[in-house]
Amino acid sequence: MYKLRPYQQEAVDLTINHFKRTKDPAVITLPTGAGKSLVIAELAKMAQGRVLVLAHVKELVEQNYEKYISYGLQAGIYSAGLGRKDEDTKAIFGSVQSVANASDDFFEGYTLCVIDECHRVANEGETQYQKVIEKLGSKNPELCVLGLTATPYRLGLGWIYEYSHSGELRSNKPRFFKHCIYELPLTYMIENKYLTTPIKVDTPVTSYDFSELTEKGRMYTLAEVEELLKEQKRLTPLIIKNIINITELYKRQGVMIFSSTIRHAREILSYLPQDDARLVIGDTDSKDRDRIINDFKEKKFKYLVNVSVLTTGFDAPHVDVVAILRPTESVSLYQQIIGRGLRLDPGKKDCIILDYTGMGHNIYAPTIRERRPNKESVEVEVPCPQCGHKNIFWGTVNIDGEILEHSGRKCNGAGLDLDTMRPTPCGYRFRFKLCHSCGEQNDVSASECESCNTNLLDGDSKIKQAKLSKKMHVLRPEHIEFIEREDKNFRPFLEIKYYDCNAEHVSEYHFFNNESDFKRFNINFLRFHLKRPELELEVTQISEVLRMQPLFRSPSFVIARKQDKFWKVTEKIFSEELSSRYLSAQH
Ligand SMILES: [Zn+2]
Ligand SMILES: [Zn+2]
């Protein structure tokens, strides 16, 4: 009938184990081409009750169904668009729209609901998925809900589940899916020769500048894309010439070009060899479309330009160049586009990915994180000093790859309570805002203390207030000097001088006479000034501090208060406490 690959068997085993322990909805992440239909087939076989496999479009319902029955298994379809409403088979493949409107009887007897492309399930509200799951759950409170996706993220939402199988808390906010049970990286598929090796070329000759679109962090309109392309019109002929050169130089068989808009696609087509290129757009008649795709598969022409992504039902294994000329707002879309070139084909060694978007997506680590703080930032691995979890943060490294600094605030590690299957977050904070009334460590962006509800001023307000007061002085340090000195009793102390660009300065003083002095310095200075707070270095001598200077960072602002004739440093504001607007306005 069929035989599972080892990783498919592993995914099935882990799924069964999970649902034995809890009925929390869970996700399996498999890259495109990993053969999810075999996983579905095996789970359906093992399920005690009936199995409902949902998808959001009829093409996907049909494709999943066809694969399933090709293994010699029985199943039904419930989809108005496909003209079939079976209700009796153990396994039903349904489109969510049709199933949501099915009569109550339909929902009887299911123990497992599988949702394909589950990153589309919205987190809350009255969606069709929620409606279906509610109805299934009312018939069987023990219902298991399993989501499948290649990309477990959603634009504007981030990770679609809370807790990963690697022990990481992926979301602090509630998600419909609680766990990710299994995650297969694309590298595994490539290394084990299940998929073709992609060779990615970023900005092969030049690239469009779509940064204006991504900065908004939302979906953008066609009109916005059109406008940007109009401004950058001169780039398109260069880009197409480059695609043709690469195709000819490396003797490529099939080239898929993804364009932004219909106008853009037509323009692209006009620069390609006329007899060797075709165009498929959203409103291409389905007969024409099928003919074009067939001719492409039979290698009657080389360049296929398309606007709406050719995904469902489209499979041309010989594609060995993928050229991206459209902004790819979601990781999921980007992965789908790349996926077009990764199918195996006799004689095909690799697939060249030409990315002209300048967006710098990473094929292998398409993770959703906060925006890259600046161009020098790379992903760094930062082990938590409390739980050992290896956090991935944005950071900077030196020429030897050693971490210099990172922007991590809180450890993402979490332990799992095996009885309840609920994660307990580690909670270690790398950076925090200290509550002055109770000592609680709060997130740097918190406006109220988690523990005692005291108002916590943000950095911007502290500076604004200080600037209004005659007794306060606000200084923006450009340079810091560490000086070892002695008081009149010959006791050594450390003076730290903060100079601004006018060589004006304020100082703070630290003594190192006893235990409590060391402690005070470690808490008040080191914890905040260390570029890598997780190193938890402690010092007992001034000479040690002097040696450690390269490990310290500078505050963005120093606030001092006038006491008699002197200025006393009362507050230091670091970059993470300031709004980006405030930071950049001051530069
Ligand atoms: Zn931790
Ligand atoms: Zn507090």
Q: pLDDT tens-digit profile of 444-457?
A: 888 999 999 999 98
Q: Is the separation of the CB atoms in 161 and 178 below 8 Å?
A: yes
Ligand found nearest the CA of 439: 2
Has residue 370 been placed in a domain?
A: no
C-alpha 525/C-alpha 180 separation (Å) is 40
> What is the 556 CA–ligand 1 centroid distance (Å)?
27
Average pLDDT of the chain, as a whole number: 89
C-alpha 447/C-alpha 457 separation (Å) is 6
Residue 322, beta-bridge partner list = 256, 353
Residues with CB under 5 A from ligand 2 (ion): 435, 438, 440, 449, 451-452, 454
Residue 132 and residue 10 share a domain: yes
Give the list of residues 6+ apart from residue 386 with CB closer than 8 angstroms, or none.
Answer: 411, 426, 427, 428
Residue 92, beta-bridge partner list = 52, 76
Ligand found nearest the CA of 384: 1
Mean pLDDT of 58-81: 91
Mean pLDDT of 339-366: 85
- Assign 214 a pLDDT band (cuts: 50, 70, 90): low
CA 172, 176, 179, 180 dihedral sign is negative
587: pLDDT strictly greater than 50: no
Has residue 371 been placed in a domain?
A: no
pLDDT in the model for residue 422: 81
Residue 109 and residue 34 share a domain: yes
Alpha-carbon 6 to chain mean position: 27
Mean pLDDT of 537-566: 92
586: pLDDT strictly greater than 60: no
Residue 158 and residue 33 share a domain: yes
Residue 27 and residue 167 share a domain: yes
473-482, 539-548, 576-585: lowest mean pLDDT where?
576-585
Exposure of 249 by Cβ count < 10 A (0-12 exposed, 13-18 middle, 19+ buried)? exposed
510: pLDDT strictly greater than 80: yes
Residue type, position 532, single letter: R
C-alpha 333/C-alpha 237 separation (Å) is 25
pTM for the full predicted model: 0.75
Residue 158 and residue 133 share a domain: yes
> What is the 121 CA–ligand 1 centroid distance (Å)?
30
Residue 446 and residue 417 share a domain: no
Residue 419 and residue 442 share a domain: no
Ligand found nearest the CA of 435: 2
Last residue in a domain, options 184, 206, 236: 184
Residues with CB under 5 A from ligand 1 (ion): 384, 386-387, 389, 411, 413, 426, 428
Give the list of residues 6+ apart from residue 40 with CB closer than 8 angstroms, or none.
Answer: 53, 64, 68, 114, 148
Q: Beta strand 492-499 with 505-511: parallel, antiparallel or unpaired?
A: antiparallel
Mean pLDDT of 142-155: 90
366: pLDDT strictly greater than 60: no
78: pLDDT strictly greater than 80: yes
Q: Which long-range contacts (CB under 8 A, 24 or more apart) does 570-573 make?
A: 571/462, 571/466, 572/528, 573/459, 573/462, 573/463
C-alpha 145/C-alpha 570 separation (Å) is 54
Ligand found nearest the CA of 451: 2
Has residue 524 been placed in a domain?
A: yes
C-alpha 169/C-alpha 163 separation (Å) is 5
Last residue in a domain, options 115, 150, 184: 184
C-alpha 530/C-alpha 53 separation (Å) is 52
Residue 295 and residue 256 share a domain: yes
Give the list of residues 6+ apart from residue 192 with CB closer than 8 angstroms, or none.
Answer: none
> What is the 136 CA–ligand 2 centroid distance (Å)?
45
Q: Indicate the helix (H) or strand (E) that contains 154.
A: strand 153-154
- Single out the residue of 542, 572, 568 nearest to residue 431, CA to CA: 572
pLDDT in the model for residue 101: 94
Has residue 291 been placed in a domain?
A: yes
Ligand found nearest the CA of 414: 1
Q: How far is CA 77 from CA 68, 69, 107, 362, in A?
A: 11, 11, 14, 37
- Assign 370 a pLDDT band (cuts: 50, 70, 90): low
Ramachandran angles phi, psi of 49, nearest 5°: -105, -155
Has residue 456 been placed in a domain?
A: yes
Ligand found nearest the CA of 436: 2
> What is the 457 CA–ligand 2 centroid distance (Å)?
12
> What is the 453 CA–ligand 1 centroid distance (Å)?
25
- Assign 142 a pLDDT band (cuts: 50, 70, 90): very high
> What is the 432 CA–ligand 2 centroid distance (Å)?
12
Residue 389 and residue 440 share a domain: no
> What is the 536 CA–ligand 1 centroid distance (Å)?
14
- Single out the residue of 47, 56, 74 nearest to residue 140, CA to CA: 47
Ligand found nearest the CA of 456: 2
Overall domain count for the chain? 4
Neighbour tally for 85: CB within 10 Å: 16
> What is the 325 CA–ligand 1 centroid distance (Å)?
41
> What is the 584 CA–ligand 1 centroid distance (Å)?
32
Longest Cα–Cα distance of the chain, Å, equals 95
217: pLDDT strictly greater than 60: no
Mean pLDDT of 39-64: 92
Residue 183, beta-bridge partner list = 29
C-alpha 449/C-alpha 479 separation (Å) is 32
Residue 312 and residue 177 share a domain: no
pLDDT in the model for residue 466: 92
C-alpha 50/C-alpha 28 separation (Å) is 20
Residue 579 and residue 455 share a domain: yes
Q: Which two three-digit tokens encode residue 547?
A: 């040696």
> What is the 450 CA–ligand 2 centroid distance (Å)?
7
Residue 259 and residue 204 share a domain: yes
Q: How far is CA 428 from CA 360, 432, 458, 533, in A?
A: 31, 10, 21, 11
Has residue 362 been placed in a domain?
A: no
Structural domain containing residue 511: 433-586
C-alpha 284/C-alpha 130 separation (Å) is 34
Q: What CATH number is associated with residue 321? A: 3.40.50.300
> What is the 439 CA–ligand 1 centroid distance (Å)?
20
pLDDT > 90: percent of the chain: 60
> What is the 506 CA–ligand 1 centroid distance (Å)?
36
Mean pLDDT of 67-82: 93
DSSP state of 577: G
309: pLDDT strictly greater than 80: no
Ligand found nearest the CA of 387: 1
Ligand found nearest the CA of 432: 2
Q: Is the separation of the CB atoms in 373 and 359 below 8 Å?
A: no
> What is the 438 CA–ligand 2 centroid distance (Å)?
4
Has residue 491 been placed in a domain?
A: yes
Q: Is the separation of the CB atoms in 313 and 330 below 8 Å?
A: no
Q: Which two three-digit tokens encode residue 285?
A: 């008649």
Task: Please work out, in degrees rounded to the nearest 5, the angle formed at the alpha carbon of residue 264 by the alpha carbons of 263 and 267.
Answer: 90
Q: Is the separation of the CB atoms in 377 and 394 below 8 Å?
A: yes
> What is the 430 CA–ligand 1 centroid distance (Å)?
10
> What is the 460 CA–ligand 2 centroid distance (Å)?
20
Ligand found nearest the CA of 424: 1
Ligand found nearest the CA of 441: 2
C-alpha 25/C-alpha 191 separation (Å) is 31
Q: Is the separation of the CB atoms in 207 and 358 below 8 Å?
A: yes
Last residue in a domain, options 156, 184, 212: 184
Q: How far is CA 361 from CA 65, 266, 329, 554, 560, in A?
A: 32, 26, 10, 32, 44
203-207, 343-347, 557-561: lowest mean pLDDT where?
203-207
pLDDT in the model for residue 557: 95
Ligand found nearest the CA of 391: 1
> What is the 341 CA–ligand 1 centroid distance (Å)?
39
> What is the 449 CA–ligand 2 centroid distance (Å)?
5
Neighbour tally for 281: CB within 10 Å: 15
Has residue 316 been placed in a domain?
A: yes
Mean pLDDT of 306-318: 75
Ligand found nearest the CA of 427: 1
121-125, 513-517, 548-552: lowest mean pLDDT where?
121-125
> What is the 167 CA–ligand 2 centroid distance (Å)?
29
